[in-house]
Amino acid sequence: MRINFYATLRAAADGKIVHIDLPPPASVNTVLRRVTELKPKLERELWDEQGKLRDYIKVFVNGRELAYLPHGIETTLNASDELDVFPPVGGGAS
């Protein structure tokens, strides 16, 4: 499975792309936790003190935002699925 990290998360992931192999079925939650084990610097970036995905982290499964998928973070993934993980984005003209 391919997980793409964007902006400031790339440094914590040691690059833009992380590939992992997990036996199906694996949920988004399982995949993100496995990536955190492989890339410990991501833990503070992705998870809050209660072990929940931080509200401001945006995750997309094959281009669809996790918040709009029926099973949310427990959405089951296939090996061919792709995750995109975005940190909070700010900026713009003032």
Which is it for the CA torsion 62, 51, 13, 93, positive or negative?
A: positive
- Rounded Cα distance between 56 and 44, Å, is 13
Distance between CA atoms of residues 76 and 14, nearest Å: 26
Q: Is residue 94 part of a domain?
A: no
Does residue 91 form part of some domain?
no
Position 92 confidence tier, pLDDT thresholds 50, 70, 90: low
Asked if the model's pLDDT at residue 91 lies above 80, the reply is: no
> 20-29: per-residue pLDDT in tens?
988 878 999 9
Tell me the average pLDDT of the chain: 92
CATH number for the domain harbouring residue 32: 3.10.20.30
How many C-beta atoms lie closer than 10 Å to residue 61's C-beta?
18
Range of the domain at 72: 2-86
Per-residue pLDDT tens for 46-84?
A: 999 999 999 999 999 999 999 999 999 999 999 899 999
